[in-house]
C-alpha cells in the first residue's frame, strides 16, 4: 500500500490477496487480537506501533489502515474485503484515502515531505472511505529527524475526526517526548513458534529445513522468519554453518584458524545469525542425545542423521558451557572487541569443548 494508486494501463491490474490486509488473517495472540479490535472500534487516537525489525509492524499498519478505510468493518475489527474501499485495495494494493510516508529502511523522510504530504493534506476530505489514513515510518533512529517530528506535532494534535494516524518505529525512546505524549502505544512482542510456523505455512514455505532454519533463527519475528526461509543467501549460510559445526570433532586447530575464520569474515554482516545457528545446532544435539529415548522428539527437520548422532553421542560435551561461550562472544562483539581475535578464540574453544575440554581452559 502506497500513498498514490499505481498507474493503470489497458491490462487488468494484478489482484492482491485481500487476506493479507485483514486483522483476522494475522497469526497473533488472542490478547493482541482483542487490543487491535478495540483500537479499530474505539475513539480514534494517533497510534504508535513499536517493535524490533521483522516484528510485523508494516503488515499490522497495512491491516489497520484497511480496517480504517473499510465501510463495513467486521465485528473483529477486520476490513470486510468487499466494499468499494476494500475492492480498491484488493485490486491495486493502494487507496485514494491512504497516504504513506515511508522512505524505506535506509532512507530518511524530509521536512518538506511531512509538510506537503501530511500537514497540508489532513483537512482534505476522504474521497471514497469514511476515513483518511496516514502511515508514517519512524523505523530507524534517523528515519524521522527532530525537525520532521516537530512538523508532525500540530497535525497529531489538531486534525479532523476522519483522520487516522499510524506511526511505527523500533525504539520509541528515540522519538520526542512531545510525540510520545500525543500517541497511543502498541508494543509488539515476539511471536510463538506456533505463530511463526503458521505464518510460514500461509506464505507457502514447504521446505521443512527452511522452516526449521527460520524458526530457529528468527527469534519470534515473522518478517525475519519469512526473509530467512525465502532468501537463498541465508540458506547457504545455514548450510555452511552446519558444515562448520560438524567439523568441530574432527578438524585440527589450523582448519578453524584459516577456513573457519574466513567463513565468518566473508559473512561478517551475518555474524549474529551464524552464532544463533551454532546455538541452535547445540540445542538440537542436546535434545536428541539427552532426551529419554522412549519419548519422540518432534522437530520440523533434523540437522543430523542417526549415524551422525551416534558419533556425537561418544563425545563428552558440556552443552551449557558452550551455549554460554556463544552468548559471551555475542556480547564481546557488541563491545567492539577485535573481530578476528574474538572469532578465533570462539572457534578454538568450541573445538575444545566439543572434544571434552572445558571452554576457557
| CATH number assigned to the domain comprising residue 296 | 1.20.272
Beta bridge partners of 185: 48
* Alpha helices by DSSP H, the chain: 30-41, 57-69, 84-92, 111-114, 146-157, 177-180, 193-202, 208-217, 222-230, 232-247, 253-255, 261-266, 271-290, 306-312, 319-334, 339-354
195 or 20, which is more confident: 195
Residues 147 and 266 in one domain: no
Q: Give the per-residue pLDDT at 9.
A: 36
Residues 34 and 137 in one domain: yes
> Average model confidence (pLDDT) for the chain?
84
Residues 112 and 169 in one domain: yes
What SS3 state is found at 198? Answer: helix
Residues 173 and 105 in one domain: yes
Cα separation, 146 vs 153, whole angstroms: 11
Q: Does the pLDDT value for residue 17 go beyond 60?
A: no
Q: Please check whether residue 185 is in contact with residue 50, taking contact to mean a CB–CB distance below 8 angstroms.
A: yes
Residues 99 and 236 in one domain: no
Residues 179 and 235 in one domain: no
Domain final residue, candidates 131, 156, 187: 187
Residues 52 and 183 in one domain: yes
Beta bridge partners of 205: none
**Residue owning grid cell 584459516:** 258
What percent of the chain shows pLDDT beyond 90? 43
Q: How confident is the model at residue 11 (pLDDT cuts 50, 70, 90)?
A: very low
Q: Please check whether residue 159 is in contact with residue 151, taking contact to mean a CB–CB distance below 8 angstroms.
A: no
Asked whether residue 265 is assigned to any structural domain, the reply reads yes
Cα separation, 92 vs 12, whole angstroms: 10
Quick one: which of 21, 18, 129, 23 has its CA closest to 74?
23
What cell numbers appear for 223 in the block? Answer: 518478517
Note the residue count of the chain.
Answer: 361
Beta bridge partners of 169: 50, 138
Q: Give the per-residue pLDDT at 200.
A: 86
Range of the domain at 97: 18-187
What cell numbers appear for 348 in the block? Answer: 578454538
Residues 181 and 70 in one domain: yes
Residues 158 and 269 in one domain: no
Residues 68 and 180 in one domain: yes
Asked whether residue 360 is assigned to any structural domain, the reply reads no
Quick one: which of 235, 143, 194 has its CA closest to 28?
194
- Tell me the pTM: 0.62
Determine how many CB atoms are found less than 10 A away from the CB of residue 269.
7
CATH code of the domain containing 175: 3.40.50.300
Number of domains into which the chain is organized: 2
Residues 179 and 252 in one domain: no
Asked whether residue 280 is assigned to any structural domain, the reply reads yes
Asked whether residue 51 is assigned to any structural domain, the reply reads yes
Domain final residue, candidates 134, 159, 187: 187
Amino acid at each position: 500500500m502506497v500513498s498514490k494508486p499505481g498507474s493503470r494501463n489497458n491490462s487488468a491490474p494484478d489482484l492482491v490477496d485481500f487476506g493479507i490486509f485483514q486483522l483476522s488473517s494475522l497469526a497473533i495472540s488472542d490478547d493482541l487480537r482483542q487490543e487491535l479490535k478495540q483500537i479499530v472500534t474505539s475513539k480514534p487516537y494517533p497510534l504508535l506501533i513499536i517493535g524490533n525489525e521483522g516484528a510485523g509492524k508494516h503488515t499490522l499498519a497495512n491491516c489497520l489502515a484497511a480496517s480504517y478505510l473499510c465501510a463495513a468493518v467486521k465485528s473483529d475489527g477486520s476490513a470486510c474485503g468487499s466494499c468499494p474501499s476494500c475492492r480498491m485495495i484488493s485490486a491495486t494494493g493502494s487507496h485514494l484515502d491512504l497516504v504513506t510516508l515511508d522512505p524505506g529502511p535506509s532512507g530518511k523522510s524530509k521536512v518538506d515531505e511531512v509538510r506537503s504530504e501530511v500537514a497540508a493534506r489532513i483537512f482534505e476530505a476522504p474521497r471514497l472511505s469514511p476515513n483518511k489514513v496516514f502511515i508514517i515510518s519512524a523505523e530507524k533512529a534517523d528515519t524521522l529527524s527532530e525537525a520532521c517530528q516537530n512538523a508532525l506535532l500540530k497535525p497529531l494534535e489538531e486534525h479532523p475526526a476522519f483522520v487516522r494516524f499510524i506511526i511505527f518505529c523500533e525504539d520509541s525512546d528515540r522519538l520526542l517526548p512531545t510525540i510520545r505524549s500525543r500517541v497511543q502505544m502498541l508494543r509488539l512482542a515476539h511471536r510463538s513458534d506456533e505463530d511463526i510456523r503458521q505464518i510460514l505455512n500461509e506464505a507457502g514455505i514447504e521446505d521443512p529445513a527452511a522452516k526449521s532454519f527460520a524458526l530457529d533463527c528468527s527469534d519470534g519475528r515473522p518478517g525475519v522468519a519469512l526473509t530467512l526461509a525465502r532468501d537463498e543467501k541465508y540458506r547457504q549460510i545455514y548450510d555452511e554453518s552446519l558444515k562448520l559445526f560438524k567439523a568441530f570433532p574432527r578438524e585440527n586447530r589450523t582448519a578453524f584458524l584459516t577456513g573457519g575464520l574466513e567463513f565468518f569474515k566473508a559473512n561478517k554482516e551475518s555474524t549474529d545469525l551464524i552464532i544463533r545457528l551454532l546455538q541452535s545446532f547445540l540445542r538440537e544435539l542436546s535434545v536428541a542425545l539427552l532426551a529419554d529415548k522412549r519419548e519422540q522428539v518432534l522437530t520440523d527437520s533434523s540437522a543430523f542423521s542417526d549415524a551422525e548422532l551416534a558419533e556425537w553421542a561418544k563425545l563428552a560435551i558440556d552443552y551449557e558451557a558452550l551455549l554460554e561461550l556463544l552468548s559471551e562472544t555475542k556480547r564481546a562483539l557488541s563491545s567492539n572487541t577485535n573481530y578476528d581475535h574474538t572469532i578465533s578464540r570462539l572457534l578454538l574453544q568450541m573445538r575444545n569443548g566439543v572434544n571434552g575440554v572445558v571452554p576457557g581452559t
